[in-house]
Amino acid sequence: MPMDAQPDLATLSLSDIARLLQEKKLPPVEQWNPDHCGDSEMRIARDGTWFHQGSPIGREAMVRLFSTILRREADGSFVLVTPVEKLSIEVEDAPFVAVEVKREGEDREASLAFRLNTGDIAIAGPDNPLSIRQGEDGPHPYLKVRGGLEALIARSVYYELANIALEEEAETPGVWSGGAFFPLEGDA
């Protein structure tokens, strides 16, 4: 059964992206509170690859489905949750990877839409902030996606953001999206 083709982010306007976001209905995982049932034997690698029992999950449709029932718990752990079951899942870094960015507008009027490795789209702004955390190997950029879930911003996308910041020539290097400014300098 063929999967629905994902629209090309480059061809969409911001209003098209906003419409797609409104149409997407995610399960109400925050309302489901079953007892913990065990371990899913699943892991999400730092590069966004999903594994089950040590083998990569090759079916994109399965990864997309699982991503819709993923939740971050108050203690920082991750679970796959349904109305009747809750299973632990290991996440090496962030559960998603932002693999593409589209910018519309400039300076304070700009909006940045990100496509995730699962095909989801998130628009950076006050509800979906960008942040930079310093690691031993350099800066790690993230985008808050939903419910405490984040996307690690792929290196190529981070370079695009850096180029945008250089174009804007602000005193502090950073980008605007959704009326909010996001510095591209991380916490020490």
Q: Is the pLDDT of residue 25 over 80?
A: no
* Contacts of 146 by beta carbon, 8 Å cutoff, 6+ apart: 26, 122, 128
**Residue percentage of the chain with pLDDT more than 90:** 62
Q: How far is Cα 32 from Cα 94, in angstroms, rounded to an integer?
A: 22
How confident is residue 135, by pLDDT bands cut at 50, 70 and 90? confident
Chain-wide mean pLDDT for the chain? 87
In the chain, the domains with their CATH numbers are 24-91 (3.10.540.10), 96-183 (2.30.270.10)
Q: How far is Cα 116 from Cα 119, in angstroms, rounded to an integer?
A: 5
Segment 9-24 mean pLDDT: 57
Task: Output the six-digit token pair for 47.
Answer: 């590069």
How confident is residue 29, by pLDDT bands cut at 50, 70 and 90? confident
Q: Is the pLDDT of residue 23 over 70?
A: no
